[in-house]
Amino acid sequence: MKQFSEIQQNIARQAVSETVFLSGSAGVGKTTAALAFLNALRDTGISGNSIMILVPQRSLGMVYQNFLETLGDFNGGIVTINTQSGLAQRMIRLFWPIIGHQTPFENPLLSPLFLNLETSQYYLDKICKPYFEKGYFESVHLEPPRILTQILDNLNKSALVGFPYQAISERLKSAWNLAPGHVHAYDEAQEVANEFRRFCYQHNLLDFSLQIEIFRNYLWPSLLCRQYILQQFPFVIYDNCEEDTPSMHDVMLELLPQSNGGLVIFDEEAGFRTFLGADPISASRLKSVCRTSLSLSEPFHQRENMEIVREVLNSALNGERLSHIPNTFLGSFSHQYDDFHPNMIESMAVKINELISDGVKPAEIAILAPYVSDALRFQIEQQLSKFDIELASHRPSRSLREEPVTHVLLTWAKIAHPDWGLVPTPFDIRQAFTYTLQGIDPLRADLLRQVVFQSKKEFWLNDIFSVNLETQERIGQFISESYQRIIVWLHEYQKDPQDLDIFLARLFGEILTQPGFAFKDNFQAANVASKLIDSIQNFRQGWLQRNPLQISNISKEYIETLENGVIAALYLQSWDEQPVNAVYLSPAYTFLMQNRTVQYQFWIDIGSLGWWQRLLQPLTQPYVLSRNWLPGQKWTDFNEYETNQANLRRLCSGLIKRCENGLFLHYSGYNESGGEDRGPLLKAVQQILRYSLNSQGSDYV
């Protein structure tokens, strides 16, 4: 059972009967106080049904989910963990019949269709096509998917911040203080956004921005809906409110004064999700509507040395002349330079192994980089595996397109439907055989492919009986029989072909998971197959109901759209799949959103500009599209520089606050792309080194 400090228990008791605004920096035990609050509510006999936990993103709810699981029964109810969009979707579903006719949708009597990111992108892509052909967006140098993402992002910002979507372009243009450059692309993006909105209204499609807008403009103002929420959830926990958006804060400003009890948690010096609309200034308004305001300042774990590291690094980042570095500093701060990138990873792996050999648990070590490319992740995984150390990496989403299993399943779908005209390559066929037929190796798969695959025939795969006996013998009898079974099954299927998802479900169940086939007992393959089928069904949903784009063959459309990268078919990897006792790798900002403290952190690629630079996107600008930006005010290089500097200081400070014992910095002469990096973080570290050497009485003058 989780232990709570007395302070946390006091806060919990207080929050049962009144709303409490709890602030403090990372690692002081605020979220644990919220768990104590849940505990107190349960002890008081409050049903779980009366409690809503609100978090800015799903991953931040995991700590509550896990805690609630340990608690067991919550007085016969279930605690709801929601995000802003989760709440909006739930309310829209519930109240659509009441508010539908007030909205601008053309068919309020039809139920709304929620779009996820990929289906939004898919529709927007179709809408954008004629604009691309007319030469739109030529002044920005972006590939179409990134243009789509930024247009959607602008729509989302307008909804989250609370200004009309028609004003996006004007806001962006009014902040531009330089020569016209690519500014007219803002107008082009606005035109396309307007068109997309019209399309959504016409077909009852609700992308993220519309979900938020409908909630904000029609549901929350409705007395019925508001009463429903208040009565349903008299107790509220709102964690990491500084990472949430002004429109959510607006709702909470009105909800909190009417709550029976609640805890609002505000992390000082945070607000890392600015590019997603997070607004800590707006969040701080919540303090005024809570009955009590408390602050925690004592760190949960002793980390005095790390506080020194934080202060020294902060001074260097501020460009202050260092006057004194305490002796204890070097005990918790070390750095390593290597000429080449792979050497840097190797040095780090050696150091991690030393720590683990000294008794540190792998899960107490985090490797943080500004960006984590697949190649980098793989390289680190390989190096650590030499010491039998496992790596868990944060990969919030992964494209199904990247999975060989997806490739194999779609190859079989193409073979089963030659009329689609999607001919697999010989390499596809070999891969499909290798993955499907139990006991086959790549060489025999290649041999089999050579003798049975004929793309010019009506059906591309021959029977095994057409192959001479000697070759059959080389392939092996068992494999030949399995192959023939799949051929027979495919011929049978072709008599009554079905949609792609049904085909895959049948192929998977009736053949691939049967004895003789390699998917039997392969749970990971089953997982991917199931996600793929889900993704196809989700994609198909629109067609089943309305087919707004009049596509005749949805299955073929799905495969082509997936293969050419327009939809990524992203799926969330389950958190519990990660090895538990493993070193953790993630982008630095992502780590900050994990509510996690470790003993040791390794920062790599510290020369990269990525530590300092915000996400720059030519068609959008999170600071200008925020509530804190005065319309008409110009965004200058000074703003850009100061914002980046402030972000870097906040990032470093936030990371060190989540580190208890030691910080290791690694960098290389050449980065992984062969370039040389000298970003501001590296320069600050060099300043510290220069000072340390100096103060040690070296020859340096």
Partner 1 sequence: MFKPRLKQIEVLNYTGGRMGVSAVPGSGKTQTLSYLAAKILADGRINDDQEILIVTLVNSAVNNFSTRIASFMQNFGLLPNLGYRVLTLHALANQIVRERPDLVGLDNQFQIIDERETHAIIASSIDSWMHLNHTVLENWTREDKSLDNPKIRSGWQRALATIALNFIRKAKDLQASPAQIEKLYQLLVLEDPLLSLGISIYKDYQRALNFRSAVDFDDLIRYALISLKMDEEFLERLRFRWPYILEDEAQDSSALQEQILSTIAGVHGNWVRVGDPNQAIYETFTTASPEYLKDFLLQPDVIARDLPNSGRSSAEIMNLANELIRWTNENHPLPALRNALTKPYILPTPPSDPQPNPPSIPNGIFIYDKEMSAQEELQNIAKSVKNWLKDNPDSTVAALVPRNDRGAKLVDILQKENIPYLEILQTSQSTRDTAKILAEILVFIQNPMQMANVVRVYENFDKIFINSKHRQLNETIQLLRSCPRMEEYLYPFPGKDWLQSKTDEANISDPQIFSNLEHFRQYLVRWQAAADLPIHQLLITIGQDIFSEPTDLALSHRLALVLEQALRNHPDWLLPEFVDELKLIAENRRKMFGFQDQDTGFDPELHKGKVVITTYHKAKGLEWDRVYLVSVNTYDFPSAQLSDSSISEKYFYKEPLNLEAELLARLEALVKQNIEALYQPYGEATEQSRLDYAAERLRLLFVGITRARQELTITWNSGDPHRLGAEKNSASLPLIALQIFLETKNEETS
Interface positions, 146-165, toward partner 1 (CB under 8 A): 146
Site for partner 1 in 359-418 (CB under 8 A): 373-375, 378-379, 382, 401-402, 404
Partners of 391 in beta bridges? 583
Q: Does 270 bind partner 1 (CB under 8 A)?
A: no
- Minimum CB distance to partner 1 smaller for 238 or for 571: 571
Question: Which amino acid, 368?
Answer: L
Asked whether the beta carbons of 376 and 608 are under 8 A apart, the reply is: no
Pick the binder of partner 1 from 86, 418, 476, 587 (CB under 8 A): 476
Our finding on whether 642 is near partner 1 (CB under 8 A) is no
* Contact range with partner 1 by CB under 8 A, out of 63-71, 153-161, 422-430, 547-555: 422-430
Q: Is the four-CA dihedral 294, 299, 304, 305 of positive or negative sign?
A: negative
Among 358, 673, 696, 697, binds partner 1 (CB under 8 A): 673
Q: Does 700 contact partner 1 by CB under 8 A?
A: yes
Nearer to partner 1, 444 or 540 (CB): 444
Residue (25 or 139) nearer to partner 1, CB: 139
Q: Does 450 bind partner 1 (CB under 8 A)?
A: yes
CB 140, min distance to partner 1, A:
4
Q: Which residue, 523 or 638, is less far from partner 1 as judged by CB?
A: 638
Interhelix angle for 223-232 vs 84-99, to 10°?
140
Q: C-beta of 629: minimal distance to partner 1 in Å?
A: 16
Rounded Cα distance between 360 and 600, Å, is 9
**Binder to partner 1 among 441, 481, 492, 510 (CB under 8 A)?**
441
Smallest gap from Cβ 656 to partner 1, in A, equals: 22
Q: How far apart are CA 346 and CA 357, in angstroms?
A: 16
At residue 242's C-alpha, the angle toward residues 279 and 90, to 5°, is: 90
* 570-572 vs 397-399, strand pairing mode: antiparallel
Does residue number 339 form part of the binding site for partner 1 (CB under 8 A)?
yes
In the complex, the smallest distance separating the C-beta of residue 645 from partner 1, rounded to whole angstroms, is 11
DSSP state of 111: P
| 350 near partner 1, judged by CB under 8 A | no
In the bound state with partner 1, the residue whose beta carbon lies nearer, of 2 and 386, is 386
Instruction: Give CA–CA dist 517/511, Å, rounded.
Output: 7
* Segment interacting with partner 1 (CB under 8 A) among 38-46, 246-254, 427-435, 578-586: 427-435
Name the minimum Å distance from CB 139 to partner 1: 6
Q: Which is nearer to partner 1, 175 or 251 (CB)?
A: 175
Task: Check binding of 274 to partner 1 (CB under 8 A).
Answer: no
> Nearer Cβ to partner 1, position 83 or 399?
399
By the rule CB under 8 A, 254 interacts with partner 1: no
User: Is 643 exposed, middle or buried (CB count within 10 Å of its CB: 0-12, 13-18, 19+)?
Assistant: middle
Nearer to partner 1, 439 or 509 (CB): 439
d(CA 293, CA 284): 11
Q: Are 11 and 263 in contact (CB under 8 A)?
A: yes
Is 687 a binder of partner 1 (CB under 8 A)? yes
Residue 621's alpha-carbon distances to 151, 157, 174, 626, 642, in angstroms, are: 11, 10, 12, 9, 15
Least distance between partner 1 and beta carbon 564 (Å): 6
DSSP state of 455: T
Q: Considering only residues 567 through 606, tell me which ones interact with partner 1, judged by CB under 8 A.
A: none
Q: Is 516 in the site for partner 1 (CB under 8 A)?
A: no
Phi/psi at 214 (5° precision)? -60, -40
Closest separation in Å from C-beta 689 to partner 1: 7
Positions in 545-564 near partner 1 (CB under 8 A): 563-564
- The single residue among 130, 319, 497, 631 that binds partner 1, judged by CB under 8 A, is 319
Alpha carbon of 254 to those of 220, 258, 464, 537: distances in Å?
Answer: 10, 7, 71, 39
- DSSP designation for 320: P
User: Do the bridges between strand 365-369 and strand 598-604 make them parallel or antiparallel, or are there none, so unpaired?
Assistant: parallel
343 binds partner 1 (CB under 8 A): yes
Q: How far is CA 24 from CA 33, 249, 652, 689, in A?
A: 12, 19, 17, 32
**Which is nearest to 216 in space by CA: 91, 383, 124?**
91
H-assigned helices in 551-630: 554-563, 588-592
Residue list 233-252, contact with partner 1 (CB under 8 A): none
Of 486-505, binders to partner 1 (CB under 8 A) are: none
Residue 476: is it exposed, middle or buried by C-beta count within 10 angstroms (0-12/13-18/19+)?
A: middle
Question: How many residues in the shown chain lie near partner 1 by CB under 8 A?
Answer: 74
Whole-angstrom CA distances from 112 to 124, 212, 224, 542, 622 are 17, 14, 20, 10, 29
Q: Is 465 in the site for partner 1 (CB under 8 A)?
A: no
Near partner 1 in 196-225, by CB under 8 A: none
Nearer Cβ to partner 1 (332/620): 620
What is the amino acid identity at position 132?
F
* 522 touches partner 1 by CB under 8 A: no
Q: Which of residues 610-639 bind partner 1 (CB under 8 A)?
A: 610, 613, 615-618, 636-638
Is residue 624 within 8 Å of residue 171, measured between CB atoms? yes
